[in-house]
Amino acid sequence: MNKPFFSVTRCFIVVLAAVVLMMPSTVKADDHVMAATTNTNNQTKQVGTLNLSLKEAQDYAVEGNRTLRNASLAVQEAYAQRWQTIAAMLPSLDAGYAYTDYLGYSAEMSTAMGAFKINMPNVGAFTLTAAVGLNGQGIVGALMQSLAIDMKKIALEQSETELRASVRTSYVSLLVLQDIAQLLDSSLVNIETLADMTQQTVDAGAAEQTTADQIKVRINTLRTNIQNNKYSIELATNSLRVLLAVPAEMQINLTENIEQLLSAEAVMEQLAANYNINNNLNYQLLVKNTELARQNLHMAGWAYGPTVSLAYNYSNQTYYGEGGMRMTPPNVVQVNVSLPLWSSGKRAAGVVEKKIAYEEAKNTLAETTDNLGIQYQQLRFSLQNAYETYMNEKENIAVTRRVFASTTNKFRWGTASNLELTNASNDLISAESTYVQAVLSLVNAQVELDKFLNNK
C-alpha cells in the first residue's frame, strides 16, 4: 500500500480521536448500585436459619433481587447501544477479494485496420475500503444516549431505595408483632390462672357461675387475638422471605429490636440531616429530563446541518495469464458534503416543537424545585409527629399492662368487679392495636424521609 493510503488513515485516526473526546467522561459503568447487582447472585439459598440485622437484611435483599439485576443489565445494554451510535460515526474498514474466471473467452475488436482478439485472462482483485461519515445529529444522538444511561442508573438506584424501604417496613412490622405476641401470651397466662381460681370459688359456692363464664369469654377473646397475631406474624415473615428471595422453609431470626431501630437518637439524626436537593433522585431525574429536552432541541436544529463523509478505496488486481487491461486506479479518495435545502417547513416546525418541549421541561423543573422544599419540611414534621405519637402509645401500652395486672390481682382478692376486669382487658387490646399502628406510622415516616434525602 502506498503513501495515499497512509495519509487517509491518519485522517481517520484524527476523526476518531475527535469524536471520542467529545463524549462525556463523567459516566462510569460501575457504581455502588451496579456493583451490588452486576454479578450473578452467589448467595447460598439452602434451608436453615438466617440471623439478620436490618442492614444485613437490606443488603441480602439487594444482592438477591432479580428485578434489580435486570435493571442493572438494562444499564449495561444502554452502554452497548450508545457505543453502536458512536461506532456509526467512526471509520469503518472493509476488505474483499474476488476471483473471476472467463473460461478462455477472448474479446473481439474491429477497427479500420482489421479485427483482432484480446485475451481475457483470469483476474483476482483485492479491495480495501475505509469510510467515515459525520453529522451534527449523530453527535447529539450519542450525547442523548449518555443522558439515557444516567437516567436508567437513577431509576436503578430508585428501585434499590424502594427495596430497602420495603425490607425496613417488613422487618420492623415483624418485630412489633413478635413483641405483641409475647404480651398477649403473658396476659393469657394471667387470666387463665384467674379463671381457674374463679372456677374453684364457684365450685365452693362462694361465687356465681356467671362470673367464671365471663372470664372464659375474655380468655376466648385473647386466644382469638393471639391466633390472629400468629397469622399476621406468618404473613409478615413470608413478606420478608419474598423480599429476601429465600425459600419458604428458611427460618429468619431478627437480631435487632424495636428499641434499637426506633431510638430517639436515630430519629433526631434524621431530623438533623442536611437537605441537599441534588441528592433527591426525583430531582436528578427531572434535571436529566430537562437536559434531554435541550439536546432534542439541538437535534432538531442539526437537521439543517451538513453531512460530511470521507472514503478511501484501495484496489489491487492480479491477472493470471497474458493480456488484460488495468482500468481501475489503485487508490481513490472521495469526499462528500451534503446540505439539506428545502423541506416545506418540516424542519422549522420540528425546531419549534422541541423548543416548546424544552420550555415545558424547564417550567416543570422550576416548579418541582420549589415544591421539594415544602415537601421536605412536611416530611420532617410528619416524622416528628409520628415519633411523639409512638412515644405516647408506648407509654400507654405500658400503663394499660400495669392496670390490667393490678385489676387482675384485685379481682383475685375480690376487690375488683368483673366489669372492671373486662374494661381493663379491652383497654389492653385497644392499646396493643394503637401501638402497632403508631410503630408502623413512625417507620413509614422514617422511610419516606430517607427516600427523599436518598439516605441508605
pLDDT at 411: 79
Whether 118 shows a pLDDT value over 80: the answer reads no
Task: Give the per-residue pLDDT at 195.
Answer: 82
pLDDT at 47: 62
pLDDT in tens, 65-116: 888 888 899 999 999 999 998 888 888 899 999 998 888 777 777 777 777 7
Taking 60 as the threshold, does the pLDDT of residue 37 lie above it? Answer: no
* Predicted TM-score of the model (pTM): 0.74
pLDDT in tens, 133-188: 888 888 898 899 999 999 999 999 999 999 999 999 999 999 989 988 888 888 88
Sorting pLDDT into bands at 50, 70 and 90, what band is 323? low
Question: Which is more confidently placed, 8 or 319?
Answer: 319
Pairwise CA distance, residues 396 & 431, whole Å: 7
CATH topology of domain 21-91+135-305+345-453: Outer membrane efflux proteins (OEP) (1.20.1600)
On the question of pLDDT at 7 being above 60, the answer is: no
The overall average pLDDT reported for the chain is 84
What's the rounded Cα separation, in Å, for the pair 326 and 322? Answer: 13
Confidence of residue 267 (pLDDT cuts 50, 70, 90): confident
> Buried b vs exposed e over 375-413: b needs ≥16 C-beta within 10 Å?
ebeebbebbeebbebbeebbebbeebbebbeebbeebbe
Which residues are registered as beta bridge partners of 337? 308
Q: How far is CA 192 from the centre of its chain?
A: 52
Q: Taking 90 as the threshold, does the pLDDT of residue 322 lie above it?
A: no
Closest CA to 195 of 408, 451, 30: 408
Instruction: For the beta carbon of residue 292, count every other beta carbon within 10 angstroms.
Output: 19
Q: Tell me the one-letter amino acid at 201.
A: T
Q: Strand pairing partners for 209?
A: none
- H/E stretch holding 99 reads strand 92-100
Let me know how long the chain is. 456
pLDDT of residue 14: 43
Closest by Cα among 142, 148, 410 to 299: 142
